[in-house]
Amino acid sequence: MTATTSSVNPNVSAATARAAAKAANENQPVTFGKALNTALADALVADDSVVIFGEDVGTLGGVFRITDGLTARFGSERCFDTPLAESGIVGMAVGMAINGMRPVIEMQFDAFAYPAFEQVASHVAKMRNRTQGKLSLPMVIRIPYAGGVGGVEHHCDSSEAYYAHTPGLKVFTPSCVEDAYLMLREAIDSDDPVVFFEPKKLYWSKEQVDLEDLARSYEAQKSARTEGRARIARSGSDATLITYGPSVSTALDAAKMAAEEGISLEVIDIRSIVPFDDETVSASVRKTGRAIVVAEAQGFASVASEIVARVQERCFHSLAAPVLRVTGFDIPYPAPTLEKFHLPSAERILDAVDQLQWEA
C-alpha cells in the first residue's frame, strides 16, 4: 500500500461515473456482479469508514472482478490487497472494526475461508456478547460460494451451515440482481457482522434493473428491507418450495415446468438465513399445506434440515404431507464433469413434488 491518498474526490467521480454509466447502459441489463460492485462503490461514497480488502481485490479487482475499479477510484487506502492469509484478513478486520471502521473483506472462495474459521467463530461472532455490546463488529465477510460453474475441488462448497450455526453472525445470500445490491448495502450498514454468501454461478446473470433508482431507494429507506425477510419469488397455491441463493433459479425453473402440468408452486427465497423469517415461510406453508426445501449444500445437519424442523414445528396441522428436502448428496462436492448429478435439478425437485401425497 502506498502512503498517498487518492486525490480523486469520490463524490465528483461518482457522479461522473454514474452519468457515463447511464449514457452507456440505458436499458442495458445489469449483471449480478455489477450490482455487487456498485453496492461496494456506493457504500464507499456513503461512509468514510468503509474499507475493502482481501486477496487480489486491489489492482486486479478480485478474481471475479467484484471489486473492479474500486482501488483506482477510491485509492489504495479504501480498497487494498493483503498478504495471502485468510485468518489474517478476518483478524485484522476485527481490529479495524473495533477501532471504528466498517471492513468489507473478501474470502476468495468458499473453501478458502476455512483457515479463518477460528477468527469467525471465536471472535467475529462473539465480541459483542463478550463485551456486553461495548464492542460491535460492523464487518462483512463476502464469500463467493456454491457450484454450477465447473469449479475444481475447494471452489464449490456451500458452507453456509457452519456460519448459520454460530450465534452472533448474520448470514445473507442474495439470488437476484436487485437483492445483490440491496442486501450488500444492508450488510455493510449493519452493526452486526454479516457473512455474505454470493452464489458464483449468478455473477454473470443479467436482469433489467436500474441501479441508480435502487441506490436512491436504498438511501431513502428507513429500515431493513431484506434482513430477516424472506421474499416470495413466485406465488403459487399447491405447494411451497423453500430455497435460497443458487437454488432459487432452479426452483423457479421447476415451478414453471410444474405450472405446465397444472401444479401451482410457490417459491420462497429465504435470502436472510440468519435472522430467519419464520413468518413468511410459515404463512406460505399454511396456505399450500405442502413444502419442499431445496438447497445445494449437503443435506445432513444443514440449513435445509433446520428449515424442515421449523416448518413442522409451526405448521404441523396445516401439512398434508411430510416436508421433504432436495439437497446435495452427503458427499464431497464432485468434480466438474459430475457436479450435475450432485446439484438439485428442476427434475429432481419435480420428482419430490410428486411424492407430496397428493390425493387421487
Q: Are strands 30-31 and 206-207 parallel, antiparallel or unpaired?
A: antiparallel
- Kindly tell me which of 30 and 270 has the beta carbon lying closer to other proteins: 270
- Kindly tell me which of 28 and 122 has the beta carbon lying closer to other proteins: 122
What stretches of 49-170 show up as alpha helix (H) in DSSP?
A: 70-74, 86-98, 117-118, 127-130, 160-164
| By the rule CB under 8 A, 190 interacts with other proteins | yes
Omega before 10 cis (within 30°)? Answer: no
| By the rule CB under 8 A, 221 interacts with other proteins | no
Only segment of 131-139, 261-269, 292-300, 316-324 that touches other proteins (CB under 8 A): 131-139
Where do we find the cell 427465497? 269
Output the smallest distance, CB 295 to other proteins, in A.
Answer: 19
Residues in the chain: 360
∠214-6-219 over CA atoms, to 5°?
Answer: 20
- In the shown chain, the binding pattern of residues 258 to 277 toward other proteins, with x for contact by CB under 8 A and - for none, equals ----------------xxx-
- Kindly tell me which of 85 and 335 has the beta carbon lying closer to other proteins: 85
- Kindly tell me which of 131 and 357 has the beta carbon lying closer to other proteins: 131
| By the rule CB under 8 A, 130 interacts with other proteins | yes
Among 9, 16, 28, 131, binds other proteins (CB under 8 A): 131
| By the rule CB under 8 A, 115 interacts with other proteins | yes
| By the rule CB under 8 A, 4 interacts with other proteins | no
- Kindly tell me which of 74 and 203 has the beta carbon lying closer to other proteins: 74
Q: What is the DSSP letter of 6?
A: P
Only segment of 82-90, 156-164, 312-320, 331-339 that touches other proteins (CB under 8 A): 82-90
Candidate list 155, 165, 317, 342, residue with the active-site label:
155
| By the rule CB under 8 A, 76 interacts with other proteins | yes
| By the rule CB under 8 A, 191 interacts with other proteins | yes
| By the rule CB under 8 A, 27 interacts with other proteins | no
Q: Is 317 a catalytic residue?
A: no
Only segment of 16-24, 84-92, 240-248, 326-334 that touches other proteins (CB under 8 A): 84-92
Neighbouring C-beta atoms of residue 165, cutoff 10 Å: 15
Among 23, 24, 100, 317, binds other proteins (CB under 8 A): 100
| By the rule CB under 8 A, 195 interacts with other proteins | no
Neighbouring C-beta atoms of residue 224, cutoff 10 Å: 17
The separation between CA 357 and the C-alpha centre of its own chain, rounded to angstroms, equals: 33
What stretches of the chain show up as alpha helix (H) in DSSP?
A: 10-25, 32-46, 70-74, 86-98, 117-118, 127-130, 160-164, 177-189, 211-220, 247-260, 278-288, 303-315, 339-342, 346-354
Q: Under DSSP, is residue 357 helix (H, G, I), strand (E, B) or coil?
A: coil
- The dihedral built from the CA positions of residue 179, 182, 184 and 190, taken in this order, carries a sign that is negative
Q: What is the largest CA-CA distance in the chain?
A: 73
Q: Under DSSP, is residue 236 helix (H, G, I), strand (E, B) or coil?
A: coil
| By the rule CB under 8 A, 135 interacts with other proteins | yes
| By the rule CB under 8 A, 97 interacts with other proteins | yes
Q: What is the DSSP letter of 129?
A: H
Only segment of 60-68, 128-136, 148-156, 327-335 that touches other proteins (CB under 8 A): 128-136
Q: Under DSSP, is residue 297 helix (H, G, I), strand (E, B) or coil?
A: strand
* CA separation for the pair 95, 103 (Å, rounded): 10
Pair 185, 104: CB distance under 8 Å = no
- Kindly tell me which of 124 and 297 has the beta carbon lying closer to other proteins: 124
Output the smallest distance, CB 185 to other proteins, in A.
Answer: 17
Among 129, 217, 355, 357, binds other proteins (CB under 8 A): 129
Chain contacts with other proteins (rule: CB under 8 A): 1-2, 51, 76-77, 82-83, 85, 87-88, 90-101, 103, 115, 118-119, 122-123, 127-136, 167-168, 170, 190-192, 228, 274-276, 278-279
Q: Provide the annotated active-site residues.
A: 155
